[in-house]
Chain A
């Protein structure tokens, strides 16, 4: 799988390159600023891009802007954005085109190698990888105004994992229950929230995120 990496801190960039190469990715470009990121993304059309939000020259939200612009030129281009902070505003902007293939994770998620690589693969496959912190904030916020409080605690857990972008199988493994049990929970959640059920994992996630985003 071909990947582009954008990160301005040398140590972290090298670390990401080594990590992804060790897991069978081919790094076609590793850049350290926003404009080159956009250029490489459009030139290589990689299978996945991993980009830091804060990049030179402005050290603001270059990464997000480059990602969104690149996805405008190459629809559905999978991008995983890493950041020291997660902001719902940015998560919303990344998800706005509804095309999937988007990830938004805290930088420290990289520590957990297996999880992180899994997230990169998921994004490369057109799925989503939302940081648990984004989801947690969406859920606490939503509770006041929406029928989320009708969910059982277990269902809330499943909803959170689903919103992060995980498949039924992954949720089952995480919660140590059977696939069938997860399927039952998801059906119940979709029913309670009055959402269109879907077999497609990704479309399901987007529906949930759209719902939570209000």
Chain B
């Protein structure tokens, strides 16, 4: 019932907003007309942005009130040249964006279409209420010559009993209005989505943009990774093998003349081989951790928590996922843990692993000092990039004083 009453309120609000928005639309059109005079170049972009803010509010309300999710369709703006030329580019880009056209079309139509849905949600119950109150209204105003048509009923002085006939009809209309109000608000949301949501082609264009960007980042990241591995091998195991070869050469020459010295060198060589093995092990652990390969993400994160200097508690178990996805998630968690140990001063960490609705969700909470930001720590930025290749996202909540909560979400096509 409360929800229904609220829908009636939402209806009238939506109707009024559509009128305010119309004013902004008019200003946009005036600004566009002024472009030939030059003034419009400076007026148009801020007004379009203002209008987009109205559209954004409509999207938000569609989500909050009608339960219809409408995503923002705008193309990301390029970097413009400075000065007048850049201003012209800005106008051109904003006016060429198909989403702007649809925004403006929505601006024209919304007071009529959206306004109709909003007004109906409000007016029908109110009209029903009027019918119920008709005998009282009639009684109060009959001396000044009350006369009214209530739908099909003519209420006037010559027919005073008609006021009572309005009551049952009013009850009927009120009930109908209350039943319909949430549905009208819902229809309003659908209408909003039809013009303010991205069109298929736009959605595809945005997806292509996004994929181009993440692909470039992924290629950069893997190239950097290969360089690191090459350097590690070159400075580590490879160098040690060279040293071993040289020592063995020396041993070959010494073995007759000075067996004791030769034995000493052999022991040294064995120690070097152990070091080389250790380095290779560490390297492999950095590329593809053994527990991850053996057991999958849940146990690998548990193994990670055992190796961490912090007191880490891991909850939840996951099925095996696609190996590249497991690997990305693993290194993301590893980086978040390292960050927590390095910067937050945390003692305890809680990791929650979950697979819900085909989405992998990992929450990492620490009891540190907080105040972390994606901008400040390039570590988190790096994780974001890594996850972007899988359409994954990172959310950070870290108020000063803590706690810090990092949430990773990666969709899994399973």
Contacts and interface: CB of A to CB of B under 8 A. Distances in A.
A74 to B, nearest CB: 24
Interface in A79-98: 84-85, 87-90, 92
A85 B306 contact: no
Interface stretch (A17-25, A119-127, A138-146, A190-198): A138-146
A108 interface: yes
Given A60-B295, A61-B294, A89-B302, A141 B277 contact: no
Contact of A141 (B281, B285, B306): B306
13 contacts: A60-B295, A85-B281, A85-B285, A87-B290, A87-B303, A89-B302, A89-B306, A111-B270, A140-B309, A141-B309, A144-B310, A144-B347, A145-B311
B307 A137 contact: yes
Interface in A6-50: none
A88 B306 CA distance: 7
B308 interface: yes
How many residues of B sit at the interface, in one of the four size bands?
20 to 34
B205 interface: no
A214 to B, nearest CB: 8
B295 A108 contact: no
Contacts of A88: 303, 306-307
B30 interface: no
A13 B294 CA distance: 22
A103 B327 CA distance: 29
A85 B293 CA distance: 12
B274 interface: yes
Interface string B277-315: 100010011000011011100010011001111110000
A111 B299 CA distance: 30
Contacts of B290: 84-85, 87
Given A60-B294, A144-B347, 13 more contacts: A54-B294, A60-B293, A84-B281, A85-B284, A85-B285, A87-B290, A87-B291, A87-B303, A137-B307, A141-B307, A141-B309, A144-B310, A145-B347
Contacts of A140: 309
The 10 closest A-B pairs by CB, nearest first: A60-B294, A89-B303, A61-B294, A88-B306, A85-B290, A144-B309, A87-B291, A108-B277, A87-B303, A141-B309
Contacts of A111: 270, 274
Given A84-B281, A108-B274, A89 B291 contact: yes
A89 B289 CA distance: 13
B303 to A, nearest CB: 4
Contacts of B294: 54, 60-61
A168 B347 CA distance: 35
Contacts of B347: 144-145
Interface in B228-278: 270, 273-274, 277
A87 B293 CA distance: 13
Interface of B: 270, 273-274, 277, 281, 284-285, 290-291, 293-295, 299, 302-303, 306-311, 347
Contacts of A108: 273-274, 277
A34 to B, nearest CB: 12
A111 B281 CA distance: 17
B7 to A, nearest CB: 54
Nearest to B309: A144
A84 B307 CA distance: 17
Contacts of B293: 60
Interface in A187-209: none
Contacts of B270: 111
A92 B302 CA distance: 11
Contacts of A84: 281, 290
B275 to A, nearest CB: 10
Contacts of A137: 307
Contacts of B299: 89
Contacts of A89: 291, 299, 302-303, 306
B281 A61 contact: no
A114 to B, nearest CB: 14
Contacts of A90: 291
Nearest to B281: A85
A67 B270 CA distance: 31
Nearest to B291: A87
A14 B179 CA distance: 83
A140 B307 CA distance: 9
A106 to B, nearest CB: 8
Interface string A138-173: 001101110000000000000000000000000000
A40 to B, nearest CB: 22
Contacts of A85: 281, 284-285, 290
Nearest to B348: A145
Nearest to A213: B306
Nearest to B290: A85
Nearest to B303: A89
Contacts of B277: 108
A6 B291 CA distance: 20
A60 B347 CA distance: 33
Nearest to A62: B294
A92 B295 contact: no
A84 B283 CA distance: 13
A33 to B, nearest CB: 16
Please indicate which of the listed interface residues A61, A87, A111, A144 has the most CB atoms of chain B within 10 Å of its own CB: A87
B291 A141 contact: no
B37 to A, nearest CB: 70
A58 to B, nearest CB: 8
